[in-house]
Structure 1
Amino acid sequence: MLKQKQNVRQTASKIKIVYDLRHRGAATSQQHSFIASSCGVVIRDNCPFQWESWAEIPEDTKELVRHELSKKSVAGQKARESKILLHHSGSKPFSYRLEERRQEGSKFPEIDMFKDVYVRPGNETAEQFYDTMVEKSTAVLQEAAS
């Protein structure tokens, strides 16, 4: 990735991005990471902060930042509380996880992905949903076999 960045800077060329229509994003997680990183570099290089450390920022500006973060925190907390299931999959898109399950030969990749993403010890709701899905998938397999 570093080599690609150096090449782009030296040649002033554009970064070729392959767009995957199925996943609605960059074709690979490496490209996705590269795009995000490149955007961060552009912002950092072209929009420098006025202060070098938090200690140098005036108190009224710090209060403004705290206030804005607090608003977002409260809004995020309300949104999280309204959800029945919280996923634990990180930043990897669900579509990539689903494709991995298919490549592994899973008969029910959506169910396997659900277990990986949502089922955690102590989360009875997710466990009940998963158990119901497994029962139904077993019934479908038995019916297909007979």
Structure 2
Amino acid sequence: MAIEHYSLLSEEGWADSSVDQVFPANFWSDGGVVDAAEVEKALKGNLRISTKVDTSFHVNGLRLAPGFSLPRRRSNLDGQVIVLGGQFTITGEEDGATVSGTIGPGEFWTITAGTPHVMTAGPEGVTYLETWSEPLEKLEMYWYEADWADR
């Protein structure tokens, strides 16, 4: 079919996500390679990926469970998050200070490569598109290992 229509707000077209599926290259902030099995335990049931969004457009359709926080991370690419449903609180570091903001449906935020940040879903969870300045194959995600300790 030349034109497809689907809703990212429906319950159809979502699957449990693997960290490799969403972020192809994963490293600890000190440069070590992430053990995907360790991270998978924390993400299971908390991070879902759309089976409908075509990632060749440098975008992932993602959903976080209510109240779930993606631990602190930074990437090698500039990024943009567009909220479709629910809300996010984003906490980051800018010029040595902690900054935070909450965004809801129809709102978005951008982040410069290398900026550490935490993304926390609101009480209803959050459905969003995450897009990058270059193809996903070039994305490198750096996670802060201490933030995974209690998961």
Larger relative contact order, structure 1 or 2 (CA cutoff 8 Å, min sep 6) = 2
Instruction: Tell me which protein shows more helix as a share of its residues.
Output: 1
Please give the TM-score of this superposition, normalised by the length of structure 1. Answer: 0.19
What is the TM-score with the length of structure 2 in the denominator? Answer: 0.18
Higher strand share: 2
